[in-house]
């Protein structure tokens, strides 16, 4: 199924394409440079070889005219004339032995007086070649060299001339014509493409016959006129090869029809000629193609390896992810189980907590029993005394004081009833319904329970509270118990203290109600500060504390969304602050 490519993938594809392009360009460029350089080396080597064969083909005959020029019989022929038969025979024999194309002697007018080809229809004897440059050079006293088509034979060749002089007089010229047919044949058999151009750029020697007398560039008028005057290439039309020369990596490239060559050239010394070697350009193209294919294959291989590595990595990643997911699933399951267990424990704890609260109440009740007994004893003793008094008064017939006494007894029973009602409230399990309540009331209730204990200990309770009710939302019984526990702890703490003071402050602060209970005891022990609200933590003697008081308080406070903190204030002792939102 087709899926649109993402930004990252598009970028990667673009990078890959760019990389491929760069690789192709570099491979093509580099291989072209190296292939052309290789070809240039080959061309240079081959040219050296061809040049040496060319020179040796010529040098072989260059001495001949000079030897002929010293021949006395030839001198005599030129000086005295007569029948050249003898000389013709001599020249014919030398030519047959040495091997150039022809040998001939010219008189100072440029007419051939004797020739090695005197027997053939193309015999030079009697012919005037005074227009030829080699003759003119000889008549100037120097040796001449000229390349051109034979006027009689129509065959091309080199003409070497040497002046013949007698007593410092120029009496004629000895000429040797060398045809390079053999050399050309040898070159052609080599199968390579080589050609030689003369000083005018005319191809005079070529392994391809059809190129002879043609040129790579057109000739100027002046050049054409000079060639004509010397009859160098008489009867031949000089044309331009249909070659398109361009430059390629430092070499000249020739495009001729469907063929393309890279050309290396070298000058031929003394002649002003050039020899050229043509190497087929398709070698370079093939090398470029080969290297490019290898480069593309290498690039493709690299990409493939990259893709494989990526796929491998992705497989690893997904395997890792699967393992991770499985692990997370297991952890989740474990967590779920733990949460369920925790909920169950919480439920258990809550139930235990409620039990504890109740148990705490019962414990407080027990503790209170002594003070309650004391509270009850006093009014009961008084009632007994007053009722005995009443009996005596009635026996005496004094009704007035009896009435006073009954009034006092009534008051005393009221006090007893009050104590009984507080006891009742502690003996039953607290309702768990929250309601609006006055914090001052809870504190009063707590104090009522503990006042007797405080007085017995000689403890001074200093209380500050607002005149208006401090209304909060909570369970009144629970709040009473919070204060009872806190006050009980304070009383326990100051039992041995030199000054026994408990300060209670109820106040409003930023939308909250605060109850602060501070005592003049030794303050919270360091270990107590760390585990203050942990259940069963106590620093009290066995039998004096269970370590449940603050834990119960903490539970109650948390249920009511309030805060409690215990600390050692600067003035000494311990200080507990309960803070809850105002209703």
Instruction: Using CB atoms within 10 Å of the CB of residue 196, give its burial: 0 to 12 exposed, 13 to 18 middle, 19+ buried.
Output: buried
Q: Which stretch binds ligand ADP (CB under 6 A): 41-49, 138-146, 468-476, 535-543?
A: 535-543
Q: Which lies closer to ligand ADP via its Cβ, residue 196 or residue 484?
A: 484
Q: What is the DSSP letter of 307?
A: H
Report, in Å, the least distance between residue 382 CB and ligand ADP.
Answer: 35
Neighbours of 102 (CB within 10 A): 26
Closest separation in Å from C-beta 482 to ligand ADP: 11
- Residues 96-135 contacting ligand ADP, CB under 6 A: none
The correct pick among 196, 205, 475, 546 for binding ligand ADP (CB under 6 A) is 546
Residue 375 touches ligand ADP, criterion: CB under 6 A: no
d(CA 414, CA 227): 162
- Shortest approach of ligand ADP to residue 572 CB, angstroms? 11
| Residue of the chain from 185, 540, 558, 565 that contacts ligand ADP (CB under 6 A) | 540
Q: Measured from the CB of residue 493, what is the shortest distance to ligand ADP in angstroms?
A: 3
Facing residues of 244 across strands? 255
Which DSSP string do the residues of 377-425 spell out, in sequence order?
HHHHHHHHHHHHHHHHHHHHT-HHHHHHHHHHHHHHHHHHHHHHHHHHH
Q: What is the Cα–Cα distance from 31 to 36, expressed in whole angstroms?
A: 8
The interface mask with ligand ADP, positions 491-530, x = CB under 6 A, is: --x-------------------------x-x-xxx--x--
DSSP state of 256: E
Beta carbon nearer to ligand ADP, 445 or 518: 518
User: Rounded CA gap, 62 and 158, in Å?
Assistant: 10
Rounded least distance, CB 573 to ligand ADP, Å? 7
Q: Which of these segments, 33-41, 206-214, 238-246, 548-556, binds ligand ADP (CB under 6 A)?
A: 548-556
- For residue 213, state whether it binds ligand ADP (rule: CB under 6 A): no
CB of 341 to ligand ADP, least distance (A): 27
Cβ 486 to ligand ADP shortest distance, Å: 7
Q: What phi and psi values does residue 83 have, to the nearest 5 degrees? A: -80, 125
What's the min distance (Å) between Cβ of 567 and ligand ADP?
A: 11
Tell me, what DSSP letter sits at residue 564? E
Q: Which lies closer to ligand ADP via its Cβ, residue 108 or residue 547?
A: 547
Nearer to ligand ADP, 162 or 556 (CB): 556
Which residues on neighbouring strands pair with residue 251, listed in sequence order? 248
Among 255, 538, 559, 583, binds ligand ADP (CB under 6 A): 538
* Min dist. Cβ of residue 500 to ligand ADP (A): 12
Q: Which two tokens stand for residue 47?
A: 């040219």
When computed from its CA atoms, the radius of gyration of the chain, rounded to whole angstroms, is: 69
Question: Please, which residue, 175 or 575, has the CB nearer to ligand ADP?
Answer: 575
Give the residue among 97, 98, 74, 96 at the shortest CA–CA distance from 87. Answer: 74
Classify 279 as helix, strand or coil.
Answer: strand
C-alpha–C-alpha distance, residues 506 and 122, integer Å = 153
Q: Could you write out the DSSP letters of every residue in 144-184?
A: EEEEEE-TTT--EEEEEEEEEEETTEEEEEEEEEE--HHHH
The nearest distance, CB 579 to ligand ADP, in angstroms, is 17
Q: Which of residues 563-582 bind ligand ADP (CB under 6 A)?
A: 574
Rounded distance between C-alpha atoms, residue 264 and residue 285, angstroms: 17
Residue 418 touching ligand ADP (CB under 6 A): no
Residues 279-318 that bind ligand ADP (CB under 6 A): none
Q: How far apart are CA 231 and CA 567, in angstroms?
A: 133
**Residue 547 binds to ligand ADP (criterion: CB under 6 A):** yes
Nearer to ligand ADP (CB atom), residue 47 or residue 532? 532
- Which of the 8 DSSP states describes residue 428? S
DSSP state of 434: -
CA 402 to each of CA 383, 386, 547: distance values in angstroms, whole numbers, following the listed order = 13, 9, 53
Q: Is 545 in the site for ligand ADP (CB under 6 A)?
A: yes
Instruction: Check: CB of residue 142 under 8 Å from CB of residue 173.
Output: no
Cβ proximity to ligand ADP: between 89 and 545 the closer is 545
- Using CB under 6 A as the criterion, which residues of the chain lie in contact with ligand ADP when the complex forms? 485, 489-490, 493, 519, 521, 523-525, 528, 532, 537-540, 545-551, 574
């Amino acid at each position: 199924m087709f899926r649109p490519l993402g930004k990252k993938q598009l970028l990667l594809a673009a990078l890959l394409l760019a990389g491929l392009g760069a690789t192709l360009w570099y491979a093509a460029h580099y291989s072209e440079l190296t292939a052309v350089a290789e070809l240039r080396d080959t061309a240079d080597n081959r040219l050296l070889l061809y040049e040496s064969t060319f020179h040796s083909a010529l040098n072989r005959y260059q001495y001949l005219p000079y030897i002929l020029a010293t021949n006395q019989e030839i001198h005599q022929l030129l000086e005295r004339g007569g029948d050249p038969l003898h000389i013709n025979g001599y020249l014919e024999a030398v030519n047959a032995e040495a091997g150039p194309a022809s040998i001939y002697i010219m008189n100072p007018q440029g007419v051939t007086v004797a020739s090695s080809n005197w027997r053939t229809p193309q015999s030079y004897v009697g012919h005037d070649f005074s227009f030829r440059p080699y003759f003119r050079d000889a008549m100037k006293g120097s040796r001449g060299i000229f390349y051109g088509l034979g006027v009689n034979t129509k065959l091309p060749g080199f003409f070497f001339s040497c002046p013949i002089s007698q007593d410092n007089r120029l009496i004629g010229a000895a000429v040797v014509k060398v045809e390079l047919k053999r050399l050309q044949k040898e070159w052609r058999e080599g199968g390579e493409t080589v050609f030689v151009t003369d000083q005018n750029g005319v191809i005079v020697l070529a392994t391809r016959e059809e190129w002879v007398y043609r040129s790579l560039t057109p000739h100027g008028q002046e050049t054409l006129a000079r060639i004509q005057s010397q009859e160098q290439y008489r009867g031949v039309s000089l044309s331009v090869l249909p070659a398109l020369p361009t430059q390629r990596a430092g070499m000249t490239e020739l495009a001729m029809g469907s063929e393309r060559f890279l050309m290396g050239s070298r000058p031929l010394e003394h002649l002003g000629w050039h020899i050229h070697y043509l190497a087929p350009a398709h070698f370079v193209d093939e090398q470029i193609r080969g290297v490019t294919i290898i480069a593309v294959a290498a690039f493709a291989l690299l990409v493939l390896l990259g893709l494989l590595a990526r796929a491998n990595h992705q497989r690893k990643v997904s395997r890792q992810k699967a393992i991770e997911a499985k692990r997370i699933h297991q952890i989740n399951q474990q967590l779920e189980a733990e949460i369920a267990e925790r909920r169950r424990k919480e439920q258990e704890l809550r139930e235990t907590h409620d039990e504890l609260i109740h148990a705490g109440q019962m414990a407080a009740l027990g503790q209170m029993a002594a003070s309650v007994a004391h509270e009850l004893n006093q009014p009961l003793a008084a009632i007994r005394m007053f009722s005995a008094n009443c009996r005596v008064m009635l026996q005496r017939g004094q009704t007035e004081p009896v009435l006073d006494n009954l009034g006092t007894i009534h008051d005393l029973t009221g006090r007893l009833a009050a104590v009984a009602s507080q006891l009742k409230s502690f003996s039953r399990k607290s309702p768990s319904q929250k309601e609006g309540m006055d914090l001052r009331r809870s504190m009063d209730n707590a104090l009522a329970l503990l006042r007797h204990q405080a007085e017995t200990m000689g403890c001074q309770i200093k209380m500050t509270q607002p005149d208006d009710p401090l209304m909060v939302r909570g369970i009144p019984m629970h709040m009473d118990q919070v204060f009872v526990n806190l006050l009980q702890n304070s009383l326990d703490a100051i039992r041995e203290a030199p000054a026994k003071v408990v300060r209670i402050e109820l106040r409003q602060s930023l939308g909250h109600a605060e109850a602060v209970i501070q005592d003049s005891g030794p303050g919270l022990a360091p270990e107590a500060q760390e585990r203050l609200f942990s259940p069963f933590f106590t620093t009290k003697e066995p039998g004096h504390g269970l370590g449940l008081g603050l834990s119960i308080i903490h539970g109650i406070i948390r249920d009511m969304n309030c805060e409690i903190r215990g600390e050692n204030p600067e003035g000494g002792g311990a200080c507990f602050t309960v803070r809850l939102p105002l209703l």
